[in-house]
Structure 1
Amino acid sequence: MGTGEPNTGLARLFRETGWTLRQCAQAVNRIGTERGTPQQYRAPSVHQWLSGGVPRENARFLILEAFARRLGRPITASEAGFPVPDPEHGTEAGPVSTVDGIIDLGRLDMDPSRRSVLGVALFSVALTVSDWPDVVGRMEAAQMGVRSRLGMSDVHTVTAMTEQLSSMDDQFGGRTARPLAASFLVNTVAPFLKASGREDVRRAMMSAASDLCYLTGYMAVDEGLHGLAQRYYLKALELAGASEDHLTFCTTLRGMSVQAVDLRQGPVAMRLADAAAASSPQAGPRMRAFLAGQQAHAAAQTGNRRSALMYLQEAEVAMDKAEARGKVFGSYAPASLSYHTSQVRYEMGDVHGAVAAMEESDRLRYGIYRRTRVKERAILAERQLATGHLEAACKTWWLALDDYPLVNSGRIDQRVTDMFRLLAPHLKNHDAQALYQRARDIVRPELIPA
């Protein structure tokens, strides 16, 4: 299908990228593979698009995402000269409501048969995130559901359940806890959000639901379902704005920045980290350390050494002030700051410094954070190996494997896969061979090399 006329919009974007036809096709194919739908486009396909040929609908999204990643900004269908798609949800009466969107999302997440659908949801750098003033108080009016009245006891139920789910995530990983969170969202929280009640109670419920959506998104990241995580994060932002919950709004933006930086999308991570900081002008010292630490990591990944060190120093000063006021269990702590210090040093090429900071983070971390302990010990081992300390790396990996059977996490499974690959050239070493064999005995069968 084509228009018979060259696609001037796409041609303009193509010139801006500096790509060759072949490079453009490769970029689109990479995103297709990442999404779980491999493509085999070649230079003639791109030439056809530029000449006015309209790609298939399922390919247009991949093309727009490829251009957005290259140019560092959202690219719309109309800007690329493609037909504007119908809205994904909603009718002529308007888009789907926030609550109905949560129900749709949660039901999809609850259904094991939809696992393949969740897996192809793609992390998008082109995601549009509204500023705080644009979301404050904006949410559809309550629609009467099964419950006739909402009380603060209902809010306390959601808050307590979220705390329990968070604790499960910390100890057992996102794969274990997220299905429970999705079910709770659909079966309990959504009806609460549709119930009537005093305005202050409704706002408190929206705030509690926002926190749960953020946590569920965070757990989706842990499983490697990045597109799904973004959808949960967006719902968290909508609810946080509706309830005027600055804390969850900033925390969610920061979580989105963490997701982006872990996916090596530095400019996106920086934009989101800065947005989180800008949305919290009255932050206390611990919150400021929480935000500045992430700004430091994102800045380091973009190669902005000066800003990275400035933000890291700001985080250190803020943490000193926060600790002087008293330790707060469960919030951003010195172990978290040491982790960010390690990440900044690693991004700037100081692997030895990164190892020292990660060792400090491991020493300071509270024992209940089992999933984090396993993940970051695996990272530490990789960096110890990179500095030539094979025996130290094997010892650290061994400690990580102590906790591994209790944690069900996609991120940790990926680290285990990396461990096998990194150990393979060193199997003549006794420590490496013993570790490799122990890992083969306890890790999930699908992770073991053939």
Structure 2
Amino acid sequence: MDTGPERVRPGRPGEATQTNAEQQRRSERLKHERAVRKWSKAQLIHALRSAAAEEGVTLPTDASVSRRIAMWENEGAEPDELYTRLLCRAYGKSPAALALPEAQVPAAELPGASYPETPEEALTTVARLWRADLDQAGALLTAQPEDGASDAASMEWLVAPASASMPEHATGIRVGLRDVQRVKATTDMFAAMDDSYGGGHARPMLMQYLNSEVAGLLTGRYTEAVGRALFSAVSEATLLAAWMSYDTAHHGIAQRYFVQALRLAQDGEDRRLAGSILSAMSHQATFLGRFREATRLARAAQMGISRVTTPTLRAQFHAMEARGLAGAGDVREAEAALAKSARALETQRLEDEPEWITYFDAAELAAEAGHCFRDLAKAKQAVVHAQGAASGHVRSDFFATMVLADAHLGAGDLEAACATALDALDLGEQLKSARAVTYVRDFRKHLLRFADTAAVQDLTGQAAEYRQWNRSG
């Protein structure tokens, strides 16, 4: 979509000199970033389109984008929020590093970070989020997670009284269990696409489905039993929206979806699902470097479903606890949590588990352990665990293989690291995932000190044909 001509932001009276200086600095910085990569305009356009595709956004013609680039680089024009975000992703730099302004996020445009007090509030809030997301509201898509919001939501859920009565609607379509099953089946379909192709592939389609189909069901007429089942199913769909948003680096809206999914699970009286949502929130917190928060959320999941837990859920929650502890550098506690996870998994009986958690098996635990030992700088142990992490799930296997490459590098085996990184790039070729790009970018940073070696030069030559490598440059 063409968002119209760029305009230089006008300064306040008396600030003309400062504004000109800002424009010059922006112009020089953007020219420099393209020059050091030896990119033509066409290559930058390609990188911007790749970044846009991860968000499900379609850019205008090459000629239109080229005119924008000329205005940014030659006149210091200020890109709008969308192009600021895409430039940052294409260059792997923050707005400040590119002399671009941070997005101003009006609080009124950002619902959803607070835990709803009632089921009715939950319905209204999640519908607003879906609509704003579908409309690509810039402030929402660029928002950062709110400090303390996840912790506050976990506490609200832990101390919540018995669920309130289901909303009663005098109008709207009549909803039955077949409608609920259709929501669950459709969510499963989107989850399979997410697993194979990354969050950037199907996220726009999921948002369209939630807006066009599911929103109407929530405001329909249903019995108490159907309402509970519906809320649980919609919680699972909203959890998937959170995962997809997290995978595409929309971390603020991902946090909001997690919070709203947690409330919907409460009203759906699905305590196991609620625990899994807290575990997912822990996963995101670890990725963002909020390690103590990640540990608290994983422990809240364990505490909150202790009466209805299963071995696989316990194993997964302890693994998330270990990830947070490892990120914080707590070797003893991280290893203890991994041991608890392994013991829990030994008693797994798949027939007694919720279907959506059965993916967590020995291979998934090995992958989590590989991450932990990599973060704890125990490279040889990371290698051992990451080598046993093949699960058959494309994105998970990509992450585990990149961890293995990093672990080989940490253990001093440069050739194995480079060969394994190529394997990962081959696995991840079909992924639209900002997280995947981050893994590759981090690995490339670790390779810099070996840049003059034959192994790295050979890897660089072969990797140039892979999308994740090019997006991470």
Mapping for residues 260-275 of structure 1, pairs under 5 Å: 260-275=285-300
Look up the match of 2:412: 388
**1:340-383 CA-partner distances (Å, limit 9, x unpaired):** 22233334331211121111113xx1x2x111111221122122
> In structure 2, what is the Cα distance between the partners aligned to 1:332 and 1:181?
24
Q: Determine the structure 2 residue equivalent to 1:109.
A: 133
Provide the rounded CA distance (Å) in 2 between the counterparts of 1:325 and 1:151. 27
Residue number among 367, 370, 389 corresponding to 1:339 in the alignment: 367
TM-score, normalization: structure 1?
Answer: 0.74
Structure 1 contact 98–140 (Cα < 8 Å) conserved: no
Shift of 1:247: 1.4
Query: Which secondary structure does the structure 2 equivalent of 1:417 belong to?
Result: helix
Q: 1:132 aligns with which of 132, 153, 158?
A: 158
Which residue of the partner structure matches residue 442 of structure 1?
466
Alignment-derived partner of residue 405 in structure 1: 429
| Alpha-carbon distance change, 426 to 181 in structure 1, aligned in 2, over 3 angstroms | same
SS state of the match for residue 160, structure 2?
A: helix
Are residues 344 and 117 of structure 1, via their aligned partners in 2, closer, same or farther at CA, if it must alter by over 3 Å? same
Query: Aligned partners of 1:420, 1:349: CA distance in 2, in Å?
Result: 17
1:286 aligned partner, one-letter code: T
Note if contact 2:246-2:254 (Cα within 8 Å) is conserved in structure 1: yes
Q: Distance in 2 between matches of 1:353 and 1:323?
A: 28
Give the Cα–Cα distance (whole angstroms) in 1 for the partners of residues 298 and 472 of structure 2: 37
- State the Cα distance separating 1:138 from its structure 2 match: 3.9
Percent identical among aligned pairs is 27
Alpha-carbon RMSD? 3.2
- Higher alpha-carbon deviation: 426-435 or 352-361: 426-435
- Any conservation in 2 of the 1:207–1:243 contact (CA below 8 Å)? yes
Q: 1:225-261 CA distances to partner (integer Å, 9 max, x unpaired)?
A: 1111000001101100111111110000010011111
Query: What letter matches 2:291 in structure 1?
Result: G
Which residue matches 1:54?
A: none
Partner of 1:6: none
Distance in 2 (CA, whole Å) between partners of 1:263 and 1:142 is: 40
CA contact 1:217–1:229 (8 Å) conserved in 2: yes
Letter in 1 for 2:369: T
Q: Distance in 2 between matches of 1:248 and 1:326?
A: 14
Q: Is residue 374–residue 406 contact of structure 2 (8 Å, CA) maintained in 1?
A: no
1:440/1:314 Cα in 2 relative to 1: closer, same or farther (>3 Å)?
same
Per-residue Cα deviation, 1:278-314 (whole angstroms, up to 9, x for no partner): 1111312111111111122223333444432332221
SS in 2 for 1:322: coil
Cα distance in 2, alignment partners of residues 309 and 173 from structure 1: 30
1: distance between equivalents of 2:272 and 2:147?
Answer: 24
CA separation of 1:88/1:136 partners in 2, compared to 1, >3 Å: closer, same or farther? farther
Q: Does 1:351 align with 2:351?
A: no
Instruction: Letter of the 2:186 partner, please give it.
Output: M
Asked if 1:192 corresponds to 2:217, the answer is yes
Match of 2:142 in 1: 120
Instruction: Say whether 1:378 aligns with 2:402.
Output: yes
4+ aligned runs moved over 4 Å, structure 1: 33-39, 85-90, 323-330
Number of equivalences = 367
Letter in 2 for 1:249: A
1:37 CA displacement: 6.7
Task: Using the TM superposition, give the Cα deviation of residue 87 of structure 1 relative to its aligned residue in structure 2, in angstroms.
Answer: 10
Deviation at 1:143, TM superposition (A): 3.4
Structure-2 residue corresponding to 1:143: 169
Query: Within 2, Cα distance between the matches of 1:35 and 1:230?
Result: 22
Q: State the distance in 1 between where 2:108 and 2:455 align.
A: 58
Equivalent residue, structure 2, for 1:79: none
1:249 alignment counterpart = 274
SS of residue in 1 equivalent to 2:175: coil
TM-superposed deviation, 1:35: 12
Distance 1:144 1:100, change over 3 A: farther
- 1:286-435 correspondence to structure 2 within 5 Å: 286-322=312-348, 330-362=358-390, 365=391, 367=392, 369-435=393-459
Give the Cα separation in 2 of the matches to 1:117 and 1:86.
10
* Cα pair 1:237 1:249 within 8 Å, conserved: yes
Contact 1:35/1:120 (8 A) holds in 2: no
Relative to 1, partners in 2 of residues 1:426 and 1:89: Cα closer, same or farther, differing over 3 Å?
closer
**Change in 2 beyond 3 A, CA 1:135/1:252:** farther
Give 1:333 shift. Answer: 0.5
Q: How far does the alpha carbon of each residue in 1:120-148 deviate from its partner, in whole angstroms, 9 at most, with x for none?
A: 2112331121133416424772435541x
Structure 2 residues without counterparts, runs of 5 or longer: 1-87, 98-103
**Distance apart, 1:424 and its partner CA:** 4.3
- Correspondence for 2:228: 203
Q: CA deviation at 1:448?
A: 6.0
Q: Which runs of 5+ in 1 are unaligned?
A: 1-32, 40-57, 62-84
Contact preservation (8 Å) 2:235, 2:265: yes
Among 188, 206, 214, the residue aligned to 2:239:
214
Cα distance in structure 2, aligned partners of 1:88 and 1:431? 48
Q: How far apart in 2 are the matches of 1:249 and 1:35?
A: 35
* Structure 2 Cα separation of the partners of residues 405 and 433 of structure 1: 21
- Give the match's secondary structure for 2:465: helix
Matched, 1:232 2:257: yes
Q: Compare relative contact order (CA 8 Å, sep 6+) and give the higher one, 1 or 2.
A: 2
Note the alpha carbon deviations across 1:370-418, whole angstroms, 9 max, x for none: 1111122112212211221111011111111212221110011122333
Q: By how many angstroms is 1:171 displaced?
A: 0.1
TM-score, length-normalised on structure 2?
0.70
